[in-house]
């Protein structure tokens, strides 16, 4: 296939790793925990269990033992736990990603950091400079608030940067500790679904400019952002004294059906491509209804999102890290052939979408 843009001038992805905290609970254990926590408050515990089972998650990793969520009863306690775990997970993720790319921390010119599940100033990327031994002239771009979108947006912004600095190395780090945002007092359906869907984890990607790219590295050919006006109510946080209260509208699958096909087709057509020419689909693990909406609106062939479904089942939705988990598994599989086009996409608060066109 001929590339729609100059492939040799495009930045490349050299490695993507997924990193998980040490604690793991099956969905049954989560269900038992939440039943106990809400036994005297929620009028229909069978409904709680039904909602948790319908999200197609078999278990999730978490940054603290499940029982410790009871003692983390203030925003400050949960946020302090977020900072401690985010630094530890972030260090592991970046070291592993650099080692996989045969690079060292001193090679890093720019670090991009994305999250939505905790607050820190200095930001987590700054706290990692000494831990990792990054250079004193390293550039840092912390990005907060994009939610599930941020894994894709972070890759796009890192690639944008490397087009201007083709001899440099950029690292994208995503850390999301969703379980720590648990709101025991919130009995809304949105919070009950979120407590069954979202998990903890981190991912790191190493990208290099065209001058450092290898012949087998997948290239980031281009990207596109789509903002849907007047949809701020669809997803986000209501931040209060107790921390992050989830806003999660049942309209999300409808937003996919209304916008995503048009976005993808318009994006591809700008570069002389059609959906039938895309061999690899890397979409974030938004939940069963969102994935079904992706499949139907894009008319994807059977199995096109098998890695996304599998990641959802094994880890839950890890917000911004989710799409990076799926990309990591695709790279590890070796299934992408030379010349394959791939579309990487995610949606998140705004409400909006981010798309990247990849080529192997």
pLDDT for residue 356? 98
How many secondary structure helices (H) and strands (E) does the chain include?
A: 11, 13
pLDDT, tens only, 5-27:
557 789 999 999 999 999 999 99
Q: What is the mean pLDDT of each run of 10 residues along the chain (360 residues)?
A: 61 97 94 81 75 91 90 92 97 98 98 97 97 97 96 98 97 96 82 90 98 94 96 89 86 92 96 95 95 96 96 96 98 94 96 96
Q: Does the model's pTM come out above 0.85? A: yes
| Integer Cα distance of 343 and 187 in angstroms | 37
pLDDT for residue 2? 45
pLDDT for residue 42? 62
Residue ranges and CATH numbers for the domains of the chain are 13-212 (3.40.47.10), 215-359 (3.40.47.10)
Q: Give yes or no: 178 in active site.
A: no
Which residue among 25, 148, 178, 352 is the active-site one?
148
Integer angstrom CA distances of residue 293 from 82, 232, 275, 289: 32, 20, 16, 6
pLDDT for residue 95? 98
């Amino acid at each position: 296939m001929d590339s729609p843009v100059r492939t040799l001038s495009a930045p490349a992805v050299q490695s993507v790793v997924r990193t998980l905290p040490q604690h793991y609970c099956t969905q049954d254990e989560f269900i038992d925990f939440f039943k106990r926590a809400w036994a005297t408050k929620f009028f229909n515990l069978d409904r709680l269990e039904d909602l948790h089972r319908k999200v197609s998650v078999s278990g999730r990793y978490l940054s603290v033992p499940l029982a410790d969520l009871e003692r983390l009863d203030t925003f400050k306690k949960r946020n302090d736990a977020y900072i401690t775990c985010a630094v530890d997970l972030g260090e592991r993720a970046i070291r592993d990603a650099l080692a996989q790319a045969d690079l060292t921390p001193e090679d890093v010119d720019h670090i991009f950091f994305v999250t939505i599940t905790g607050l820190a100033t200095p930001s987590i990327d700054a706290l990692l400079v000494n831990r990792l031994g990054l250079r004193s002239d390293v550039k840092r771009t912390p990005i907060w608030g994009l939610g599930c979108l941020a894994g894709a947006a972070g890759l796009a912004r890192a690639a944008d940067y490397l087009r201007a600095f083709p001899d440099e190395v950029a690292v994208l780090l995503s850390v999301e500790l969703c379980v720590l945002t648990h709101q025991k007092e919130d009995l809304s359906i949105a919070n009950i679904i979120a407590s069954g869907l979202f998990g903890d984890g981190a991912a790191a990607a190493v990208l290099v400019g065209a001058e450092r790219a290898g012949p087998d590295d997948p290239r980031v050919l281009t990207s596109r952002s789509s903002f849907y006006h007047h949809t701020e109510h669809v997803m986000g946080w209501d931040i209060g004294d107790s921390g992050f209260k989830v806003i999660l509208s049942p309209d999300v699958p409808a937003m996919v059906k209304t916008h995503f096909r048009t976005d993808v087709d318009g994006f591809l057509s700008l570069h002389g491509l059609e959906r039938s020419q895309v061999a690899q689909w890397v979409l974030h693990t938004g939940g069963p209804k969102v994935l079904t909406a992706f499949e139907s609106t894009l008319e994807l062939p059977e199995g096109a999102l098998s890695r996304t479904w599998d990641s959802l089942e094994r880890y839950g939705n890890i917000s911004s890290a989710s799409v990076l988990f799926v990309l990591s598994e695709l790279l590890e599989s070796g299934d992408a052939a030379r010349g394959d086009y791939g579309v990487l996409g995610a949606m998140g608060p705004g409400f909006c979408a981010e798309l990247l066109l990849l080529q192997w």
